Amino acid sequence: MKTKYIKIAEELEKNGEFTESFTKPNPKKYRIPDKNYVYLPRNPIFFLTSKFFRFILFVFGPFLSFFANHLKIKKSKKVKKVKTGAICICNHVSYFDGALFMRQAHPFKRYYCTVAPTNNKKGFPGYILKSGGAIPFGTQLSVQRNFNKALKKLLEDKKSFVGFLPEQGLWLGYEKPRPMLRGSFHYACIHNVPIIPHFLFFRKPNKFERLFHRKVLITLYIGDPIYPDTTLPINQREQELAKLAKHWYADIYMKLYKTDNINYLNGKSYLDY
């Protein structure tokens, strides 16, 4: 992690501000979704452009991931057995984690990615993101209702995989897992679909990789699907699902980084949250 980012992370850790982002979006470049925002357009032109941009990502995404970070993917075999929709979650430590890396991990699934309202970009960039499957959260109740309807259709009817970044803020190059917001677990429970946890690990280069002089090398680890316990009341169901996911992140982090704790500068540990 770059020195300037280390200092930002340390300050946020001390204050326990884990959902804050390292960077702030430019208000001139985005438009917050309003009540007229259409999440899943049905017109033929959008359908064709969506097919086109998804094809471009399918073909060229692996090349971009390789040249940027020499991405490697290690996936649980049980993920292939998921025949329903699913919610994919990941630590938010790269610009590409939600939009590209998780998509690339499931190339033959129709994939969408939830994004912050500020990622609803203006103009052509926003159209590309939307065509590729970006679905922004709403800040108004009426917009959030439309978001909920779209998510229900994607998860239940289309059996799509939908990416969430439950840590919320982007912390570039940060290694530790952070506390997760409850939204992804809530939606997994009400739609009765599994959570598939993803973890980005920053590895050291081998002899071959040193030839490319890449500073950031990433391996994406994908765990077994975690299913909601339908015998529990909905609130307990969400808590149990979040607990299982949290322990998976704790275990994978401590194994990969060879440590026996996840402590923050505010005096708390990851499992305290």
Q: Quick one: DSSP state of residue 226?
A: B
Q: Quick one: DSSP state of residue 238?
A: H
Half-sphere exposure of 231 (CA within 13 A, CB side): 0
Write down the pLDDT at residue 1.
67
Place of tokens 């009817």: 157
3-29+43-272: what CATH class?
alpha beta
Residue 27 burial (10 A CB sphere; 0-12, 13-18, 19+): exposed
The encoded tokens of residue 250 equal 């704790």
Give the C-alpha separation, 208 to 206, whole Å.
6
Per residue in 23-54, pLDDT (tens digit) is 888 889 999 999 999 999 999 999 999 999 99
Pairing of strands 195-203, 217-222: antiparallel
State whether residue 155 is helix, strand or coil.
helix
Per residue in 60-75, pLDDT (tens digit) is 999 999 888 999 999 9
The domain locations on the chain are: 3-29+43-272
Average pLDDT for residues 232-252, to the nearest whole number? 97
Share of the chain above pLDDT 90, in %: 89
